[in-house]
Amino acid sequence: MNASISSNKRIMKNTMLLYLRMLFTMGVALYTSRIILNVLGISDYGIYNVVGGVVTIFGVINAAMATASQRFITFELGGGNINKLKIVFCTSLNIHILISLVIFIIAETIGLWFFYTQLNIPIGRIGAAFWVYQFSVLTTMVMMITVPYNAVIIAHERMSAFAYISILEVVLKLLIVWALTVFGIDKLILYVVLLFIVQMIIQVVYVFYCRLFFKETKFQLLWDGLLFKKMSAFAGWQLFGCTAGVAYTQGLNILLNIFFGPAVNAARAVAVQVQNAIQNFSLNFQQAINPQITKSYAINDQERLSVLINASSKYSFFLVFFLSLPVLIETQYILSFWLGIVPEHTANFIRIMLVVMMIDVTANPLITAAAATGRIKTYQMVVGGILLLILPISYLFLKLGYNPEIVFLVHFGMVICAQIARLFMLRKMISFSIRRYFKEVALRSLIVGSISIVLPLVVSEYLNSSFASFMIVCLICILSTSCSIYFFGLQKNEQHFAKEKVSQLYYKLKK
Task: Please indicate, yes or no, whether residues 297 and 268 belong to a single structural domain of this protein.
Answer: yes
Shared domain for 84 and 43, answered yes or no, is: yes
Q: Residue 398 and residue 423: Cα distance in Å, rounded? A: 31
pLDDT of the chain, 511 residues: tens digit per residue: 444 545 555 555 555 666 666 666 666 666 666 677 777 777 777 777 777 666 666 656 666 667 777 778 777 776 666 777 888 888 888 888 887 888 888 888 888 888 788 777 778 788 888 888 888 888 888 888 888 888 888 777 777 777 778 788 888 888 888 888 787 778 888 888 888 898 899 889 988 998 888 887 777 766 677 777 777 777 777 777 676 776 667 778 888 888 888 788 888 888 887 777 777 666 666 777 777 888 888 778 888 888 899 988 998 899 889 888 998 998 888 888 877 777 788 889 999 989 998 998 898 889 888 888 878 888 888 888 898 898 899 999 999 989 999 999 999 999 999 999 999 999 888 888 999 999 999 999 999 999 999 999 999 888 887 888 889 999 999 999 999 999 999 888 888 877 776 776 666 655 5
Q: Both 292 and 253 in a single domain?
A: no
374 and 418 fall within a common domain: yes
Of 260, 283, 313, the one marking the end of a domain is 260
Which structural domain, as residue segments, surrounds residue 454? 262-501
Evaluate whether residue 227 is within a structural domain: yes
One domain, residues 121 and 217: yes
Q: Do 290 and 225 share a structural domain?
A: no
In angstroms, rounded to a whole number, what is the distance separating the alpha carbons of residues 262 and 441?
39
Angle, CA 462 vertex, CA 456 and CA 468 arms, to 5° = 75
DSSP state of 217: G
For the CA atoms of the chain, what is the radius of gyration?
23
Q: Contact 395/255 with Cβ under 8 angstroms?
A: yes
- Is there a domain that residue 150 lies in? yes
User: What would the DSSP string read from start to end of 169-190?
Assistant: HHHHHHHHHHHHHH--S-HHHH
pLDDT for 414 equals 92
pLDDT of residue 1: 45
Q: Look at residue 337 in the predicted model and tell me its pLDDT.
A: 82
Look at the chain and report how many structural domains it folds into: 2
Cβ neighbourhood burial of 5 (10 Å; 0-12, 13-18, 19+): exposed
Q: Look at residue 13 and tell me if it is in a domain.
A: no
Predicted local distance difference test score (pLDDT) of residue 422 = 92
Using an 8 Å Cβ cutoff, are 61 and 239 in contact? Answer: yes
Helix (H) or strand (E) segment spanning residue 424: helix 405-430
Among 212, 230, 260, where does a domain finish?
260
pLDDT at 121: 77
Inside any domain, residue 46: yes
Distance CA 434, CA 147 (A): 34
Same domain flag for 142 and 280: no
Same domain, yes or no: 284 and 245: no
**Same domain assignment for residues 203 and 318:** no
Residue 291 lies in a domain: yes
Residues 427 and 444 in one domain: yes
Q: Is residue 97 situated within a structural domain?
A: yes
Q: In the prediction, which pLDDT does 268 show? A: 85
Q: Where are the beta strands (DSSP E) in 303-447?
A: none
Same domain, 118 and 90: yes
How large is the angle between the packed helices 82-106 and 147-155, nearest 10 degrees?
Answer: 150
Point out the domain boundary residue: 228, 260, 292. Answer: 260
In this structure, the answer to whether residues 306 and 246 fall within a common structural domain is no
Domain assignment present for residue 5? The answer is no
Residue 117 lies in a domain: yes
